[in-house]
Chain A
Amino acid sequence: MRLLALHVQDFRNLPQVSLAPSPHATIAVGQNGQGKTNLLEALYFLATLKPLRAGRLTELVRWGTQGARVVGRFLLKGAEREIAVEVSGGVRQAFVDGKKASSLEEYFGGVSVVAFTPDDLEVVKGGPDARRTFLDRAVFNRYPAFLKESRDYARALKNRNRLLREGPAAEPAYLDAYDETLAKAGARVYVRRRALMAELAPRAQATFASIGRTPEPAAYGYHPSHLGQDFAEADEAGLVDALLEALAARRKRDLERGFSSVGPHVDDVTVTLGGRSARAYASQGQQRALVLGWKIAEIENLHAAMGFLPLLLLDDVSSELDPERNAYLMSYLASSGAQVFLTTTDATLVRGAAAADTLWVDVHAGQVVPRPADAPA
Chain B
Amino acid sequence: MDLSLEPSHTEEERASFLSECKKQTEKIGWLTDALLKIARLETGLIAVTKISADLVKTVRDAVSSVTAQATAKGLPIIIERLPDTLSFAHDPVWTKEALCNILDNAVKYTKAGSITIALEQGPLYTHVDVADTGIGLAPEEYAKIFARFYRVRGHAAQRVEGTGLGLPIAREIMRQQGGNITVASELGKGSTFSLFLQNC
Does B associate with A? Answer: no
